[in-house]
Structure 1
Amino acid sequence: MYSDLPADQLAAYRGSTSAPEDLDRFWAETLDEARTYPLAVEVTPYPSGLRTVELYDVVFPGFGGEPIRAWLRLPARNLREDSDGPLPGVVQFVGYGGGRGDAHENLFWASAGFAHLQMDTRGQGAGWSKGATPDGAGSAGPQVPGMMTRGVLDPQTYYYRRLFTDAVRAVEAMRSLPQVSSVQVDPMRIAVLGQSQGAALALAVSALCPDVAAVVAFVPFLSDFPRAVSVTDSYPYREIRDYLAVQRGQVETVMETLAYFDTVNLVPRATAPALFSVALMDTTTPPSTVYAAYNTYAGPKELTVWPFNGHEAGAIEDDVAALAFLQKQLAG
C-alpha cells in the first residue's frame, strides 16, 4: 500500500535536513587523513575454474589504513573486444547487512565487458551475503544491534564515516590497478553502483569523488534521516528510533551527527550522470527520502519509478537498465 506523500508532492520534495556549515571541511579532512596511508593495492589471482570471467582477490587500505577486501572480476582476456585497450570500470557497493559474497557470485558486470570491483562492507556480511572485513576502528558509546547507531554521538566516531571513506578509497584503488596489475582499467571511465545502502555509498562517492564517470543508485538508503526515522517502522532506520526511545536526551546530538552522512546534504556537489530508481511501496527506504536525494542531485539524472514494488524495486529490470545506461556513459 502507499504510505508516503502523494505523487505530486513526491515529485517536488527536497528533504527536511540541513547541511552542517563545516560539511566540506569535515570530509576534506577525513579524506586527507585517509590518503596519508599509501594506496598499496594487493591483487591476487583467484582460481575459479571459469572460462569467461577472471577472478582476483583484492585488498586495499580504507579508513585509517585498515585493510578492506574486494573482489575484482574481469572478462576473460580472449573474450575482450580489444584485449590491448583499457576496460571501463564499475565499483559496486553492497546493501545493508551484506558483504562482498563469494567470488563466483555476481558475474553480471564482468560478463558485460566491464572491470568490476565489488567492495566488502566493514563489520557487515553476516545478514545475507558473506563478508570478510572487520570494522577495526571500533566505536564509541552505546548502540542497538546493527550499524546505524555505532558511534552516533559524534561525526568523528560514526560508523559511516569509516564506510564512506572506504568507498572513496575503493574508487582510488580501481584507478591504481594499472600500476599494480597487468589488467588495464581506464581511470577516466569508472562508475559507481549500488542498491539501498550500496546506492547511498555510490551517491556519497559521487559527491566526494566528483570525477567519477557515472552513478547508479537504486532505492538509496541514508537519505533524509529526519523524515525516514519518523515515517517508517522498518529496519534499519528503526535502529535509530529504538536508540532514541532509550537515549531520550540525545535526539539533537544524533541528528547533528547524521547530517554529515545524509546523502541529501552531499549530492548537491555531484556532477556525474546518474540513474536512480524508486519504489512507491517501499517501507525500507521511503519514497519521499529517495525523491529528496534525486531532487537535490546536481548532475544530469534519470529516475525510474516502480509504482507497485517494495524495496526490491525493479530487480533484474533495474540491472538491465543500468547496463544500457553504463554502456552509453562509459563508451570508449
Structure 2
Amino acid sequence: MPLTDLPLEQLLAYRPEVDAPADLDAFWAGTLAAARAAGGSARLLPVEGSPLTGVDVWDVRFPGWRGEPVAGWLLAPRGAPGPLPVVVEYLGYSQGRGLPLEHLLYPAAGWAVFVMDSRGQGHETPDAHEGPAAQWVGGFMTKGVDAPQHHYYRRLYADAVRAVDFVRGLDGLVDPGRVVVAGNSQGGGVALAVAALADGLVAGAMVNVPFLQHFRRSVEIAGDGPYPEVAEYLRFHTPGAVERTFRTLSYFDGVNLAARAGAPALFSVALMDPVCPPSTVYAAYHRYAGPKEMAVWPFADHAGGRAAQLDRQLRWLARLTGHAGADGVDQRP
C-alpha cells in the first residue's frame, strides 16, 4: 500500500480554511433539544447464561433520536467496585453491535463499556427516515443529503449524544465524571462529534483513523471506502447539486465540530490509509480545541495501529483517570 496523501512534514502544517455554516451551533442545539424532549425509556436486561464468567452483560435499548429505541451492549467486569469509568464505543461504517464477546478489551482493563448499535447499519436498530429526497446510492453518505435536517448523520450523531446521556444516568455502576467516547473510522468521527456536541459531559475522546472529516477533500482524493458514494451521487447531478451537497455535509464535518470540543483527546492516523486520507484527519486534529495528542502509524492502512494502538489507548486512559484495573493494580505507566 503506497502513501496516499501528503508527507508527514506537510501534514503537521496542514490547516485548511473550511467554512462552518453560520447556524451550525443553532442547528445542533435544536437537534439535541428535540432528541432529549422526545423522552423515551431505557431497558436493561441482564444476559443470562453467558459463557463470559468474568463479565456482566446487559442487553440495552435506550431512547435516541425522536425517542426511538437504539440497541446496545453494556459490559462491566464482574465484582469490580463501582462506580466505574466507562467507554462509550461507536462503530465503523456498516457495522452493528455484534456479540458481547467482541467487546471484552475495556472490561479486561477494569472499565465498563457501552457499545452503541448504529441505526440502519446493524440488524437491530432500524432507520426508516428518508425525507423528501430518497437515497440515491447505496450506503449512508447521501441519505437525506438534500438538506441537513434530513441527513442520516443528524440522527446518528443525536443517538450518540443520547448514549452518553444514558450511561451518565446509570447510578452506582458508572461514574458520570469518567465517561470517555471512542471509535475507529466512522466510530472515531462520531466520537469526535460527540466530544463537541456533548462538551462538558465527557472526560475524554479516543478518535482513531476518523471518517467524516474534511468532506470536500475526502471526496476528491479518497480511493476506497464510503467517500466515493458522494462522488458517484454527484457524477450525474447538475453543478448546483455540488454546493448544496457539500453545504449539507458541512453540518456533520468533524473539522467544523472539532473547535467546539474541550475534552482531552487521543487521535490516531495511518499514513497509507486510502479510506480516510491522513490530511483530513490532521485537518480535524489541528482544529480540535482540547488537549490532544496524535499517534502516527507511518506504514499502516485503514486498520491503523491495530493492537499497538489499543495498548496505547489503555495507557492513555489510565493516565487520564488514574483508574486501577480489575485486579486492583494501577495501570499508569
TM-score, normalising length from structure 2?
Answer: 0.93
Q: CA deviation at 1:139?
A: 3.9
> Does the 8 A contact of 1:190 with 1:330 survive in 2?
no
Match of 1:100 among 97, 100, 116: 97
Of 65, 68, 92, the match for 2:67: 65
Q: Distance in 1 between matches of 2:279 and 2:252?
A: 18
1:1-332 residue pairs with structure 2 within 5 A?
1-38=2-39, 40-47=41-48, 48-77=50-79, 80=80, 83=81, 85-125=82-122, 131-141=123-133, 142-178=135-171, 184-211=173-200, 212-249=202-239, 250-331=241-322
Counterpart amino acid of residue 138 in structure 1 = E
Quick one: distance in 2 between partners of 1:166 and 1:320?
A: 28
Q: Matched residues in 1 for 2:214 and 2:6: separation?
A: 14
Deviation of 1:49 after TM superposition, in Å, equals: 2.6
Could you list the per-position Cα deviations for residues 121-140 of structure 1 after superposition, in whole angstroms to 9, with x for gaps in the alignment?
A: 00002xxxxx3111133344
Give the Cα separation in 2 of the matches to 1:137 and 1:67: 14
**Secondary structure in 2 matching 1:104:** helix
8 Å contact from structure 1 (residues 17, 225) kept in 2? no
Identity of aligned residues (%): 49
1:105 to partner: Cα distance? 1.7
Using the alignment, how far apart are the partners of 2:161 and 2:277 within structure 1? 26
**For residues 327 and 140 of structure 1, what CA distance do their matches in structure 2 show?**
47
Give the AA of the match of 1:167. Answer: A
Instruction: Please report how far the alpha carbon of residue 16 of structure 1 lies from its aligned counterpart in structure 2 after TM superposition.
Output: 4.6
TM-aligned CA deviation for residue 232 of structure 1? 1.5
Q: Whole-Å Cα distance in 2 between the matches of residues 155 and 235 of structure 1?
A: 22
1:32 partner SS: helix
| Mapped partners of 1:148, 1:103: distance in 2 | 28
Opposite residue 317 of structure 1, the aligned amino acid is A
Higher mean Cα deviation, 63-72 or 31-40? 31-40
C-alpha displacement of 1:331: 2.6
Task: Please state whether the residue corresponding to 2:51 is helix, strand or coil.
Answer: coil
C-alpha contact (below 8 Å) 2:40/2:68 kept by paired residues: no
Q: Which amino acid aligns with 1:321?
A: R
Write the distance in 2 (CA, Å) between the matches of 1:103 and 1:319: 18
Question: Bigger CA drift: 102-111 or 209-218?
Answer: 102-111
CA contact (8 A) 2:46 2:59 kept: yes
1:128 aligns with none
- Give distance in 2, aligned partners of 1:279 and 1:303: 11
* Cα shift at 1:38: 2.3
Structure 1 residues 186, 39: closer, same or farther in 2, change over 3 A? farther
Taking the aligned partners of 2:230 and 2:118, their CA distance within structure 1 comes to 20
Shift of residue 39, structure 1, vs aligned partner: 5.2
1:14 offset after TM fit, Å?
2.2
Q: Distance in 1 between matches of 2:137 and 2:129?
A: 18
Q: CA deviation at 1:246?
A: 1.3
- Runs of 4 or more consecutive aligned structure 1 residues displaced over 4 Å after TM superposition: none
| Greater alpha carbon shift after TM alignment, 44-53 vs 289-298 | 44-53
How far does the alpha carbon of each residue in 1:203-242 deviate from its partner, in whole angstroms, 9 at most, with x for none?
Answer: 0000011121010001000000010011122120000000
Root-mean-square deviation over aligned CA pairs: 1.2
Partner of 2:330: none
- Contact 1:271/1:299 (<8 A) preserved: yes
**Cα displacement string for residues 145-203 of structure 1 (whole angstroms, at most 9, x for unaligned residues):** 0001000010000000000000000000001122xxxx521001100000000000100
Residue 330 (structure 1) shift = 2.3
Distance 2:170 2:129 in 1: 26
Any conservation in 2 of the 1:150–1:159 contact (CA below 8 Å)? yes
Residue identity in the other structure for 2:227: Y
- Number of residues of Structure 1 aligned to a counterpart in Structure 2: 318
Task: Look up the SS of the partner of 1:299 in the other structure.
Answer: coil
Contact persistence 2:39–2:66 (CA under 8 A) = no
Opposite residue 83 of structure 2, the aligned amino acid is P
SS at match of 2:37: coil
